[in-house]
Chains A and B, each alone.
Chain A
Amino acid sequence: EVQLVESGGGLVQPGGSLRLSCAASGFTFSNYWMNWVRQAPGKGLEWVANIKQDGSEKYYVDSVKGRFSISRDNAKNSLYLQMSSLRADDTAIFHCAVTWGMPGGFDIWGQGTMVTVSS
């Protein structure tokens, strides 16, 4: 079964840091671009970042550039999101997602991990 499982969320103070992880299973992780998508409570979806199969290309939404860093470890089938200088408006559920079986769109999503930025 193709599966993505996120971890690492929690409560952090404004200005703090957090590292999210996404463990992939059921598919050849190293063959796919991987993405992070977030959803603030009661709000819509926002794509955050993605990373190429070998980590050589990375893209970010403007609001996180310079604060978030996406990475991956293909040997561990894992995706990461290092977040720093966190702000209240970063509070959201963070999902990892992949375009796996379809030639477009994110067809596999993890359940997400909640990040709460509050003092």
Chain B
Amino acid sequence: DIQMTQSPSTLSASVGDRVTITCRASQSISSWLAWYQQKPGKVPELLIYKATSVKSGVPSRFSGSGSGTEFTLTISSLQPGDLATYYCQQYNSYPRTFGQGTKVEIK
């Protein structure tokens, strides 16, 4: 199975800060990676697919980069509504696997 490891597990940042979350795969997954945002008490929402493609309707401050085994999700200017847990997920092979999540807190 492909293990997905996110770092950090928690981060605290101020409104307007640039935030970067890293996701590492235990083996190459090419660009078959998605990022999700899960706000407290809500269902996860897809932000990014194929590592770098931003889903229509997602604010432009969200971007994704990387390929192979190392990926990042960047929020260019953190907003109060970005309080959430973010998950990466590989869909290169079975079983599909998620990272453990990164909780983003607002200072």
A47 touches B96 (CB 8 A): yes
**Residue from the list B1, B34, B49, B53 in contact with A62, Cβ < 8 A:** B1
Tell me what chain A mostly uses at the interface: helix, strand, loop, or mixed.
loop
Chain A interface: which of B12-20, B74-82, B87-95?
B87-95
- Summed over the interface, the residue pairs from A and B with CB atoms below 8 Å come to a total of 64
* A105 in contact (CB, < 8 A): yes
* B66 in contact (CB, < 8 A): no
Contacts A45-B98, A47-B98, A60-B95; A109 near B34 (Cβ below 8 A): no
Question: Could you say which residues of chain B place their CB within 8 Å of the CB of A112?
Answer: 43
* A104 in contact (CB, < 8 A): yes
B1 touches A105 (CB 8 A): no
**B-binding residues in A (CB < 8 A):** 35, 44-47, 50, 59-62, 95, 101-107, 109-112
